[in-house]
């Protein structure tokens, strides 16, 4: 009998997978621009909410990092967590630099 050996780590999709989705949405929300406004500013203006986009984006990144850390065994959770931590650090550094 021949046994097939697979080195592929099969991770299941779960709640941790949402960490990647949330981090990608947050990047698009704050760092992607259409004209002079970010997508987040356009969305908030359409809804009629006046709130700083960076605050909402930071909250989304923190949620994504928490979910990615808690459900690290799910597919995409580690990548979502790492992306979120990178952008949290980037936003803090850019905020401090602009002061």
Q: What is the pLDDT of residue 1?
A: 56
CA angle 33, 91, 47 (to 5 degrees): 45
27 CB burial (10 A radius; 0-12, 13-18, 19+): middle
Say what the pTM is: 0.84
Q: What is the pLDDT of residue 8?
A: 62
81 CB burial (10 A radius; 0-12, 13-18, 19+): buried
Tokens representing 47 are: 């809804």
Q: What is the pLDDT of residue 12?
A: 86
Q: What is the pLDDT of residue 10?
A: 74
pLDDT reading at 78 higher than 80: yes
Q: What is the pLDDT of residue 34?
A: 87
Q: What is the pLDDT of residue 2?
A: 61
């Amino acid at each position: 009998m021949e046994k097939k050996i697979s080195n592929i780590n099969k991770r299941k999709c779960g709640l941790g997978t949402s960490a990647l989705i949330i981090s990608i949405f947050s990047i698009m929300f704050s760092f992607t621009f259409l004209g002079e406004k970010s997508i987040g500013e356009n969305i908030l203006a359409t809804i009629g909410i006046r709130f700083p986009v960076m605050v909402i984006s930071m909250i989304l990144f923190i949620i994504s990092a928490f979910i990615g850390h808690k459900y690290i065994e799910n597919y995409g959770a580690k990548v979502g967590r790492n992306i979120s931590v990178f952008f949290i650090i980037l936003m803090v550094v850019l905020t401090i630099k602009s002061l």
